[in-house]
Every structure is written in C-alpha cells, then in structure tokens.
Structure 1
Amino acid sequence: MSQPATAALTEQEQQQLVRQIGRAMLPAVAQGWQRVRAEYRAAGRHIEVDLAFAGPDGQWRQARPPMDVVQLFGRLRQGMYSTDRGTWLSAIYTIEAPSAFEVEFNAEDEPRWRNAPPVIGFQDELRTYPRSDDRIPDWLRQRVGLPPRQEPVDLRVAHVYDGRDEAGTPLVNRNTVDPRLVESVLSYLEAAPVVLAARDLDVDEFAPGERDVPLNFRTDGVWVWAGAVPHYLRKHGLPPEPDLVTHIVGRDYRLPEVDEQTRDRAAALITGA
C-alpha cells in the first residue's frame, strides 16, 4: 500500500490551513453574504466540492468553488492522515458573517455523493490512505469487495475436569466421547494453534509419579483449552467438556484460521493480562 506523500500536519498547521480555506472561499461568493457553506467529498482521486452562500433573504445560491479551495482541502485531508484510522472522507465548512466558522470532518459514514465513485476510486482510497482493518466501515468494505468485519467473540476456556473432592482428587462427571469420534476430536484439539507454552511437563493427576502432561494452551478462535485436555482424553479416556465436543463436531472437525489478534486475546485471557 502506498502512503500519503505529505507529512502529517501539526494541530497548529491544521488550523492555519483551515483558515486559508475559509479565506479562499469568500472571493467566489456575492457581496452581502450572511452564510457560506462548502462540502468536500473524496474517495481516492474522485473529488466533489460544492460551494453555496446565503444573503440577507436566507436563500441559498450555488457558487463555483475556486481551485485554491479544492487544493487546500486536499492538502488538509492528506495532512490529517493517521495509520490506524486513515483520513476523513468528507468535510463541511460553514462560515457565519462576519467571521465565525466551523468545520466538521467525517471519516466513517459514506459521503452523500453527487455521482458515486467507481469501485476503483474506493480501492484507490485504501491504497493511498490505508487504515487498520477494524477501522474500515462496513459500507466501504462492501464497496471494495472485502469480507464483512468479524466482531470478536467472547473466548471460552475449557475446564480440564469438574472440580476436586475434599482430598484434592480431580472430579469428573461427564459422558464419555463416542469411541468413533475420539480420534477426530483429538486431531482437532492437538492441531489448533498454540498461544502459550512452557518447556516443562506437568504431573499427570491421574497417574501419580508420571510427569508427561504438556504445559500449553491452544485456541480455535472460540474455545481455549490446556494441553491436558487432549492428553487426558488420549491417555485416560477423560472426556473434554461436552459443549467443547459438540462445538468440534458441529464444525465437522475442521479448524479455521485463527488470526494473530485472536491468539493474543487468548493468551491474555489465560494470563489475566
């Protein structure tokens, strides 16, 4: 993706440019104006600018926007770019006589186009002003053919067993996994990406003296489980939580891609970060 050629403007430079735009608008309107309104809309190289003014009678009249206004708005749009949120797509600049003014910037909602840009215009927008995926609004995703934004789901941690008795022995009160499904469930559990891992092995709580339980955690983007879950299923036939088994079967044992952000969320959930 290409980056805007103009360096980011400071807050003071932005204010100076805003005042320059206002001064550049005024020569295009008739004497005796009471209000002036300019609207700038852009997607990539598609640009629309409307300029209107109202006199003492309150009636709005269209005026031709000076080229300086168009260019200064473009400079301001470039200078307000940030890598996470991109830049604004439209701006409305109003002036009230004699000198009060206000500017509203919109970076999320689709502008009210006179003529909607072609797909290449929206693609060019994201190439020129790339933004983080979670800051691309749904309407823009649809315009450029991106898949709908996936909202983060609440991750669920699988319990290895159901508690302990007074002596500290693990308690299990679950239905066994259908023997015909065990290998497929194990393949799913053991193939999911690891989000946390230690080099050491833990003690097998169902085989005193044996230390062979993997100290790791995996996730499929919905559930998070310890390495002990598949270990105890394979070694002792201890079934995972029924809801986890149902989830795996419902996915037909197919693991989805798990993005880095979801892996980080899973690790934070385990560590309490």
Structure 2
Amino acid sequence: MTQPPGPLRPEQQQELVGQIGAVLTAQVPPGWRQLRVEYRAAGRHVEADLLVTTPDGTPRVVQPHPEAVRLLGVLRSGMYQPGRGTWLGAILVFEPGRPPVADFVGPDLEPPFRQQPPPIGFQDELRFFPRADEHVPAWLRERAGMAAPVSDGQVRTPRIYDGVDASGKPLVRRRPLVPAEAERVLAYLDAAPVILASRSNGPDAFAPDRADAVPMNFRTDGAWAWPGAVAYYLREHGVPPDPDLVAHIRARRFTAPSEVPEPAKDLALAAITGEEL
C-alpha cells in the first residue's frame, strides 16, 4: 500500500463496521453476550485483540478472524483525512440486538500498543497517510525519528488537564507514565529556570480541600513554558503532563538547561502573560 484509498462515506463506514461484526460473530459459538475487538496500527504494524463474553458471563480472549482484521484496516484507510491523518486505534463493541459501538482514538493520540512499533512503523504511517506538518504531534514525530520542525520563535505552553466534566472536575485522557519515567520528567520540570514566581499558592483542582497547595510559579527551557501545577499534579496525583511536552522532554533526553538566554525568557514570559513583544 503506497497511498490511502478514497474516503468512505459515513453510511459506508457503518456498513463496514457491520461486516466486521458479522465476521466476528461467525467465528464464535452461539450464545455470546458481547464481542469487543481492539485494533491498533502504525504503518504495517498491526495489533488486534478480541474479547468474547460467553453465555455465563466469562470473558475469553480469542484471536480475531483475519478477514475482520483486514476489514478494520480498510475502515482505517477509508477514514483518512488528507493532511490530517487517520486514527491509529479503535474499539468496536457488538452485543446481540443492539447497534454496534465504535470508538476511534483521535489521530493526534497514541493508542496503548501491546508492543511498541519500531520507528519504521511510524515512518510508514506518515507515508501511507500523509499529514501536514502542523498535524504531526510531537510523540509521533519522536516515534518516527523525525527532527523537530524549525522553531518559529514561539514558546509553547502545556494543557494542565484535558477539560472538565459537568460538575467542574478536571478530566484527564492521557497515558500514565511509568514510575521511573515520571521521576525523570519531574526532575526535568523542577530543574528548568524559574521565570515568574509568586509567594502564594493556588487551589488544587483535584483536591478542593487543598486551597493553598499548588505553586504559582513558571519555568521554561526556552521552547516550552509551564506552571508549577504541571509538576505538582504529576507528583501529587500522577497526572501526566501534556503529551507533547512529555515527548519534548524525552527528545531532550530528560536533561533540562540550567540557563536560558534572556531573549528566550522574554518570549516565554510573553507566552504566559499573553503580552506581545
């Protein structure tokens, strides 16, 4: 495969999901309660897992039929958006008498691969499904072994978390860091120079009873500027930093600069305060 096929219309996508369900249904004994197939891909690297809930409610792992795996690949290719890419992970759930449920991992998010694909897998991903540079997230760029794009003089700031629910509680939709890497990320976040500090602390969004806990300072490494809340929430609640910031820290081999040039600090302050230089 050298280029994605033409796009599938929504009704064609639904029809294909139905075909996948039919293939999976035919391979399992009657009386099943639920079929849950998880599919992850990067270029030619493909992982597919099928979990079958039997009549007595016992979940059982089964190797999905090759035709179902092929159709999932067709679905992924058919959902490619020019310049934007396509999803790398999906979960499809089938239950008797109910319409299927399909949940696709957004093209900017890395699915939880069972085995990390090699760099060539991510390089093939970008060849098979070309993306505009602004739609290549930092983690994908790093996985593919690509050089970072030339800086346009902008300093990036991270998302602290991924939104709030109806009650105002913060939402986190990120892969957790393993403890050893979390310590290295924390060391990086805490080692970068402070560019703005406050004597007071702010409230903890994850623990409202802690009204004076979150450091109100900002640090920068010249490319990113982040508030003390990033390290605090990782340390206290295990909340991973913005995935793009984590990818940046990995790319720098977890070594923060001890000094940042004054012009870079000025840019970082401008990014934090919203002031133009």
Instruction: Normalising by structure 2, report the TM-score.
Output: 0.52
Residue identity opposite 1:98 in structure 2: G
Residue identity opposite 1:116 in structure 2: Q
Name the CA shift for 1:57/1:152 in 2 (closer, same or farther; >3 Å): farther
1:177 maps to what in 2?
Answer: none
Q: Which has the larger radius of gyration?
A: 1
Q: CA deviation at 1:38?
A: 0.3
Aligned residue pairs: how many?
157
Residue identity opposite 2:48 in structure 1: V
Unaligned runs of 5+ in 2: 156-261, 265-277
Q: CA deviation at 1:66?
A: 0.8
Mapped to 2, the partners of 1:152 and 1:101 lie a distance apart of 47
Report the structure, 1 or 2, having the larger strand content. Answer: 1
Q: CA deviation at 1:250?
A: 4.8
Secondary structure of 1:141's partner? helix
Mapped to 2, the partners of 1:69 and 1:139 lie a distance apart of 29
Question: Which of 134-143 and 38-47 deviates more?
Answer: 134-143
Residue identity opposite 2:112 in structure 1: R
**Percent identity (aligned):** 45
Name the CA shift for 1:119/1:54 in 2 (closer, same or farther; >3 Å): same
Residue identity opposite 1:139 in structure 2: W
Unaligned runs of 5+ in 1: 155-248, 252-273
Name the CA shift for 1:146/1:57 in 2 (closer, same or farther; >3 Å): same
1:133 maps to what in 2?
Answer: 133
Name the CA shift for 1:131/1:31 in 2 (closer, same or farther; >3 Å): same
Secondary structure of 1:71's partner? helix
Q: Give the 5 Å matches for 1:105-144.
A: 105-106=104-105, 107-144=107-144
Aligned-pair Cα RMSD in Å: 2.5
Mapped to 2, the partners of 1:70 and 1:151 lie a distance apart of 42
Secondary structure of 1:3's partner? coil
Instruction: Normalising by structure 1, report the TM-score.
Output: 0.52
Runs of 4+ aligned residues of structure 1 deviating over 3 Å after TM superposition are 147-154
1:34 maps to what in 2?
Answer: 33
Residue identity opposite 2:131 in structure 1: R
1:90 maps to what in 2?
Answer: 89
**1:11-59 residue CA offsets vs partner (Å, 9 max, x unmatched):** 2211111111111111122221111100111100111111111124322
1:73 maps to what in 2?
Answer: 72
Mapped to 1, the partners of 2:135 and 2:57 lie a distance apart of 39
Is the contact between residue 44 and residue 123 of structure 1 (CA under 8 Å) also seen in structure 2?
yes
Mapped to 2, the partners of 1:15 and 1:28 lie a distance apart of 21
Is the contact between residue 28 and residue 64 of structure 1 (CA under 8 Å) also seen in structure 2?
no
Q: CA deviation at 1:151?
A: 8.2
